[in-house]
Homo-oligomer: A and B are copies of this chain.
Amino acid sequence: MLMIRKSVLSLLLIVFIIHDICAQQGESVVMNKTKLSFMLDRDGAPMYALSFAGRDVIKPSRMGFKLDKDSGFYKGFQSLGVERSTVDASWQPVWGEVSRIHDHHEQLVVHLQQRAAPHRRLDIIFRVFEDGIGFRYVFPRESGLGYFVVTDEMTQFALAGDHKTFWIPGDYDTNEYPYTTSKVSEIDNKELVEKSTDIAVRVAPDRYAVQTPLMMKSAEGLYINIHEAALVNYPAMQLHVDRSSLVLTSSLVPDAVGNKAYLHAPFATPWRTVIVSDKAAGILDSKIVLNLNEPSAIGDTSWIHPMKFVGVWWEMQTGKATWNYSDYADSLSATSGLIPNGKHGANTANVKRYIDFAASHNIQGVLVEGWNVGWEDWFGNWKENVFDFVTPYPDFDVSALAAYAASKGVNLIMHNETSGSATNYERQMDTAFRFMRSYGYTSVKTGYVGRIIPRGEHHDGQWMVNHYNRVAEKAAAYRVMLDAHEPVRPTGLQRTYPNWLACEAARGNEYNAFSIGSAPEHETILPFTRLMGGPMDYTPGIFKLRNYTSVAGRQMHSTLAKQLALYVTLYSPLQMAADLPENYEAHMDAFQFIRDVPVDWDDTKILEAEPGDYLSIARKEKGKENWYMGSITDEHGRVAELSLDFLAPGKKYQAVIYKDAPDADWKDKPEAYVIEKVTVDRRTRLSVKLAPGGGAAISVKLVD
């Protein structure tokens, strides 16, 4: 199903009608309740506005750039004409929340030219969907720009109200902050940045800047989400907040010398997206970000497989084991070998234990961190040659473990921590991927904990954006799946690189182990913010919720049942069962849900949602008639009322409900859960009580 209508104005026609269509008159595009307006103001500055069901969402807002070649490339334009077209199509993702995605939009292309010599050109492409808009800038080949540098992007989002906002600081190097909920006019990240000493690298020079995806809710109940799609060869867009005018302005992450992007015409920027809905669920249902990305660049995707995995990892997070083999790099024996500390997690016997567990419990992968030499002094030194990605510690038998995993049908997951030294990784990337292939690793988890090298670059700048994309392409060339930790936050590129299964790029479950953690509301906000760009490797599934760390008093801000629910509410094709085998073995009845839950889906229903408060989702297993449901709440207990009307008519299902025990509570009794089995059909309505900080997971399997 692909229908495209195009009405292209000929160049001749443009010349004649130029005075009719330019300037204040403007253009507009309507798709259902969404209306996009474009105009040039008196100064020839391109402006756009967005309304939804007649209500202002974005008031007239500036567009354009400051370039090295033209510091006023946001005004002085005239219109050369427009093109309009309609797309109503659908496509199938390699994996995802749904098996088919509808792309219905009206497109408006505005051709602009500067009135003054040398009459440089700029195109703006708008796509208007039922649930929002995307727009991008195109510098055409004929723009007269050739090679040029973006020194600033001027794109603004003039908000129509002082909305309730869920935000994290506009930090150039990290997205791992807890979310703050405040009015736009109250945004100020300074205190949060200063006190977040649990985050490895923090560079947030603008106290009024925030990251995207930025989630907002208007006083009238309109849900608004601002982000970007298809971030390629360009820095991440953060937003500077003018707290009095309520105007958000694009703030691109700078490079080592303060420039933003080095470009060559023709070039198309990432899409700027505004998603709007009068229901919170509408935000989560939106496919705008994916639709604005390019189709898969990988032809044969048969080797790409969503999966669950366990790993030698949480035992390091909780202090039971160490990544490093020795206690420090200078701890050398008489023969110059490192003196082992006796706590090294990635030892052959321990890895075998995880392989055995995975093989027995429908877990496809085993991640092993700390397997390669260099962990004694890997962090905090801005050291360039940190790891070589091929040399194991003496107690990690690469060959034997590869053979053992293969014999058990388990995939070992490679770990390539770079410590932020991207130059070192790039030099060795081919060697690293060849190593993976030679030992049968089908996926890799990368990491960027530390200040970036090239020094002066940032995690979210153009150079590193290109780096992450190069890694995805290199991984694809070697048929390796990718899970990137500490990269720029995703922008839907998983459509183009479906081997890029997941990213971290947010505050994961791990913070509950090594820091003050995250509030119970955290996971109700993530789907509306970070996950709008793509799947997150959140590492759910912690069963031992207290007394698991060397730091007294630390605990997960969650009940056990909520940990199960996260497998449904936080979508990812790569889901870790993050806890230790021994902790799962203490609750094998609850572990059954993790064992059962798929990581790839035919369909998704957002049953109820309110960012910061609660979320209930039902998903249909890919290619099967089974459904899985998750409900979570914030620090307040509640009752989730769940209609099962999405089930097939006339069919019976067995539902297994994993829920908080009546007296459960994230703080005082997190591990109390109850498992119920009931027969259900599409008329069933379940009332499930969620504890404070609690949740529920439900498997709904067709009864043959």
A114 to B661: give the CA distance in the assembly, Å: 64
Note all chain B residues with C-beta closer than 8 A to A147. 377, 381-383
Considering only residues 544-570 of chain A, those with a C-beta below 8 Å from chain B are: none
Is the Cβ of B256 less than 8 Å from the Cβ of A455? Answer: yes
**A581 contacts B by Cβ under 8 Å:** no
Contact A456-B257, Cβ < 8 Å, known A147-B383, A330-B141, A383-B262: yes
CB distance from A45 to the nearest CB of B (A): 28
A257 to B257: give the CA distance in the assembly, Å: 9
Considering only residues 442-495 of chain A, those with a C-beta below 8 Å from chain B are: 454-457, 463, 466, 470
**A198 contacts B by Cβ under 8 Å:** no
Note all chain B residues with C-beta closer than 8 A to A384. 262, 463, 466
A: number of interface residues (CB 8 Å): 28
A691 to B505: give the CA distance in the assembly, Å: 71
**A264 contacts B by Cβ under 8 Å:** yes
> Which stretch, A276-284, A349-357, A422-430, touches the partner chain B?
A422-430
A456 to B256: give the CA distance in the assembly, Å: 6
Note all chain B residues with C-beta closer than 8 A to A262. 381-384
**Which listed residue (B141, B255, B377, B454) contacts A423, Cβ 8 A?**
B454
Q: Please, which residue of chain B has its CB at the minimum distance from the CB of A461? A: B455
Q: Mark A406-427, 1 if CB is under 8 A from B, else 0.
A: 0000000000000000010011
CB distance from A659 to the nearest CB of B (A): 50
Q: Mark A254-288, 1 if CB is under 8 A from B, else 0.
A: 01110100101000000000000000000000000
CB distance from A201 to the nearest CB of B (A): 14
CB distance from A183 to the nearest CB of B (A): 36
Considering only residues 116-145 of chain A, those with a C-beta below 8 Å from chain B are: 141
A552 to B377: give the CA distance in the assembly, Å: 61
**Which listed residue (B141, B427, B457) contacts A427, Cβ 8 A?**
B427
Contact A455-B255, Cβ < 8 Å, known A147-B383, A330-B141, A381-B147: yes
A257 to B454: give the CA distance in the assembly, Å: 10
A382 to B146: give the CA distance in the assembly, Å: 12
CB distance from A336 to the nearest CB of B (A): 13
Note all chain B residues with C-beta closer than 8 A to A455. 255-257, 259, 454, 456-457, 463
A427 to B422: give the CA distance in the assembly, Å: 11
Note all chain B residues with C-beta closer than 8 A to A141. 330
A330 to B142: give the CA distance in the assembly, Å: 10
CB distance from A332 to the nearest CB of B (A): 10
Q: Please, which residue of chain B has its CB at the minimum distance from the CB of A328? A: B146
Considering only residues 140-162 of chain A, those with a C-beta below 8 Å from chain B are: 141, 146-147, 149
CB distance from A29 to the nearest CB of B (A): 33
CB distance from A205 to the nearest CB of B (A): 14
Q: Can you spell out 23 A-B residue pairs with CB atoms less than 8 angstroms apart?
A: A141-B330, A146-B377, A146-B381, A147-B381, A147-B383, A255-B456, A256-B256, A256-B257, A256-B456, A257-B456, A264-B381, A264-B383, A384-B463, A423-B423, A423-B454, A426-B427, A427-B427, A427-B429, A430-B430, A454-B454, A454-B457, A455-B456, A456-B456
Chain A positions near chain B (C-beta within 8 angstroms): 141, 146-147, 149, 255-257, 259, 262, 264, 330, 377, 381-384, 423, 426-427, 429-430, 454-457, 463, 466, 470
Given contacts A255-B456, A454-B454, 20 further A-B contacts (CB under 8 A): A141-B330, A146-B377, A147-B377, A147-B381, A147-B382, A147-B383, A256-B454, A256-B456, A257-B456, A259-B455, A262-B383, A262-B384, A423-B423, A423-B454, A426-B427, A427-B427, A454-B455, A454-B456, A455-B456, A455-B457
